[in-house]
Structure 1
């Protein structure tokens, strides 16, 4: 096999191979190990020298399926709790295949009116889902990190205006550091965005009243007042990764209005709190933010990778990321914009297709039902662990996060961190469930994130059974 032109008649057959693998793979997910370490040896079989003469589509797809279905981390299944990672709903998976089939250049209206229209509709539906004003601008990004870059870059443009400088055109040279304030709940991706934007990750100052990171509002207000009218950015956090804690966004919005600040909200998974009457109060005030970040490959359960950025004034997006100003890239003329002038990407996959499909397939009611079920599973897991004599919750379950640690009787406090690290390693080696280590409030424990559309109470119960088995083995070796 040489020129791909000679391989064109195999496209349907290659896709057929993948299609035939779908049923057996998905059907086996409930019984599969989340990760089978014994299959890691297969990864070496994907390497070797680059073939001089290609082996063809069918052979290559067969090899990838042979290794991939065995050696992959099966995070699309119901028991991957390690990171805040959803799976991919049936509608989203099929639409993602469609995105690959159509292979649209999704940044320009002229290159794909389809991609532009689907993104416009999907963003409108997301604003309805989250209760955001329809007037907000938006863009789909590869991740929450790039969504933070989008929102905070717009904040940087706004901040430059207040110093009389067009930052997009002239840069930051000669300007003071942009003040950025947050609580102790702030996620590293917000700092990373500031790092990428040239503002400096370490310029962000946090104000916390306790070791959980909850905000010290008087201290935050005092810092804003000390600026004596100079502009600043406040980062609010809707769902931290350790305990699901949320900043009081209404109070943050009040401070932003009082001191003329820009409010940016990190709602990577916490934006979905707006869907349930049980948790909507946690998001009160998010609709007053100037920019908002959310993730699609978390609680929306669309394939990697997908994030969202919403900006109150779309003009800041256009000024920050566009226009191109070259003749071969004409500006959009119509109701759908060129999305590569509203965010950091120029070459853009049509990520909106799976977002549109899953929202259309399940609607508001379906997504609310999924969130409600995950809240129930988190509460159920918390109750099971609370009833276990050798485990303690590190915080009450909030949203989809359950953090806990193994604390058997008779083990000295100074040995518990190492014991919990050993337990986590045993869980990952076992592979039936996947749980992550985390240090919260100064102690080492384990953390579960429950966002996969397949996850039910039975998966939480299996996790507890696995914990009992593995801790018994650890105790036997002690």
Structure 2
């Protein structure tokens, strides 16, 4: 054994304790840490010939990167739709790395952990038992997997086995949507269907939800043509929902695959106040739900639920690998999703679901929605801002009260200053042609006090921008 490996093995308990202390110190300061920083120019990295050992590597990490760590998992990171990491999920994640099991091994207890976790998730979301669930790396791969099964289904409508013959064997592929997430078109590109296969339908007035009458008109203009419909269950800008119940009714009369992108909107199912937004999703063919969003487990983790495991098997099965067994004879998750090798990403979810239960997640979702509404109400009262859309769930979409011709530049300057100050992180967006700002609240740590701090920060930065604009215009 290499001498450095041997030394680290002998000092393993001390190393784990040092790492735990470092992590504990970081988390104890996460409420006060900046949520964003301006990074310096780092010196080039060099690979040492002789290793320094794990303890020295930890020290080097702290010296090189420690002062630049940010509170992305903290209570005022409203940028990407990123949950924090619950204490239980963190414990599960550490153990996942410790045991380092591949849940693709049916003989391993990790297979049982993954199976059991998916049962818990179906119960959390009140999904029928006939839905097969699989863990994937994120909503992008979940959408990819659902649309891959849809592609196989679409081929069969034309008498073609796409998994065997290739995507060139199917003709006139159409994927319809109103306000799809960018990962939908990315998935279409990866699947060989092409971004141009995406047909954008009109939305309802003042909404991001599909106009069902426009969909009916398209169907009338393409009689008998099978297609895929990608429904939004929580759009990125305004958490708007397509009328899934109406789409489910249309499926009774017309031939199409219904994919529901519920990356974070699927968590409406845990709340009696909001689950009506998902009425009908039990009739969907495939459903995307993210775990590193509102489930508040670490990156990277999501689930795909489908009604058609045989179509998934046709696409993702491993053939010609005797050591993996017969994919048709023995169920194995590796034959139903893209990845063969993956970490035990179900374990953080299992820990968190068992630790906090349905009540914990119901309280988390409803608390985040209340706080988003609190932020939205403050913005609507402000002379510096205006809401671009109602606060439906956990996202606040707003813009600056400024002249339209200057708005894009003012938004850019506003966010630049906001990020530099590091109290809160938000991202730029465009809503129906208007430059704006988007704040997404899905973190278990966020409190009303955080919202008060955020509101004060927004007002302060907006006032600075107004003063600067006045000076520029006067000169």
Cα distance in 2, alignment partners of residues 188 and 333 from structure 1: 34
For 1:448, the equivalent position in structure 2 comes to 439
TM superposition score normalised by structure 2: 0.94
After TM superposition, give the deviation of residue 219 of structure 1 in Å. Answer: 2.0
1:101 equivalent in alignment to 2:74: no
Root mean square deviation, CA, Å: 1.8
**By how many angstroms is 1:137 displaced?**
0.6
1:244-287 deviation digits (Å, cap 9, x = unpaired): 11100011112222111110000000000111122111111111
Contact 1:147 1:309 in 2 (8 A): yes
Quick check: 1:82 aligned with 2:79?
yes
Residue 182 of structure 2, aligned match among 178, 188, 209: 188
Partner of 1:20: 21
- Secondary structure of 1:62's counterpart equals helix
Matches within 5 A, 1:159-308: 159-183=154-178, 185-209=179-203, 210=205, 212-308=207-303
Aligned to 1:268, the other structure's residue is in SS state coil
Q: Distance in 1 between matches of 2:4 and 2:30?
A: 37
Extract unaligned runs of 5+ from structure 1. Answer: none
Q: In the alignment, is the contact (CA less than 8 A) between 1:421 and 1:445 conserved in 2?
A: no
Comparing 296-305 with 198-207, greater Cα deviation is found at: 198-207
- Establish whether residue 154 from structure 1 lines up as the match of residue 145 from structure 2: no
Equivalent pairs counted in the alignment come to 467
Q: CA deviation at 1:446?
A: 1.0
Q: 2:368 aligns with which of 370, 374, 388?
A: 374
414 and 362 in structure 1: CA distance in 2 versus 1, 3 angstrom threshold: same
2:472 maps to what in 1? Answer: none
In structure 1, which of residues 456, 460, 464 is the aligned counterpart of residue 451 of structure 2?
A: 460
Counterparts of 1:254 and 1:65, CA distance in 2: 57
Paired with 2:301 and 2:431, the residues of 1 have a C-alpha distance of 28
Retained in 2: the 8 A contact 1:14–1:61?
A: no
Q: Is the 8 A contact 1:298 1:451 kept in 2?
A: yes
| Superposition deviation, residue 222 in structure 1 | 2.2
Q: CA deviation at 1:474?
A: 1.9
**Residue in structure 2 matched with residue 144 of structure 1 by the alignment:** 139
Contact 1:80 1:434 (C-alpha < 8 Å) held by counterparts: yes
1:428 aligns with 2:419: yes
1:239 is paired with a residue whose SS is: coil
Counterpart CA distance in 1 for 2:380 and 2:319 is: 57
* Aligned counterparts of 2:370 and 2:80: Cα–Cα separation in 1: 19
Q: Which runs of 5+ in 2 are unaligned?
A: 470-475
* Residue equivalent to 1:341: 335
Name the CA shift for 1:2/1:224 in 2 (closer, same or farther; >3 Å): farther
Does structure 2 conserve the Cα–Cα contact (< 8 Å) formed by 1:10 and 1:58?
no
Note if contact 2:4-2:53 (Cα within 8 Å) is conserved in structure 1. Answer: no
**8 A Cα contact 1:177 1:199, kept in partner:** no
Aligned mates of 2:20, 2:394 — CA distance in 1: 32
- Secondary structure at the counterpart of residue 135 of structure 1: coil
| Counterpart Cα distance in 1 of 2:407 and 2:91 | 45
Deviation string 1:212-271 (CA, Å, 9 cap, x unpaired) is 433121221222233322321111100001111110001111222211111000000000
Q: Distance in 1 between matches of 2:309 and 2:62?
A: 43
> Could you tell me how far 1:70 is from its partner in structure 2?
2.5
| Structure 1 CA distance for aligned equivalents of residues 47 and 28 of structure 2 | 34
Question: Partners of 2:298 and 2:63 in 1: how far apart?
Answer: 21
Given that residues 2 and 54 in structure 1 are in contact (C-alpha distance below 8 angstroms), is that contact kept between their aligned partners in structure 2? no
Question: In 2, Cα distance between the equivalents of 1:208 and 1:13?
Answer: 60
Partner of 1:130 in structure 2? 125
Q: After superposition, give the CA deviation of every residue in 1:326-367 in whole Å (9 maximum; x if it has no partner).
A: 212124799x83111110111111100001111111000000
Q: Is the 8 A contact 2:175 2:199 kept in 1?
A: yes
CA contact (8 A) 1:108 1:332 kept: no
**How many Å separate the matches in 2 of 1:419 and 1:83?**
21
TM-score, normalised relative to structure 1: 0.94
Question: Corresponding residue for 1:115?
Answer: 110
Does residue 1:405 correspond to 2:399, yes or no?
Answer: yes
Other structure's SS at 1:138 match = strand
* 1:6 Cα deviation after fit: 5.2
Q: Secondary structure at the match of 1:18?
A: helix
User: Are 1:250 and 1:285, in contact at CA under 8 Å, matched by a contact in 2?
Assistant: yes
1:166 CA displacement: 1.3
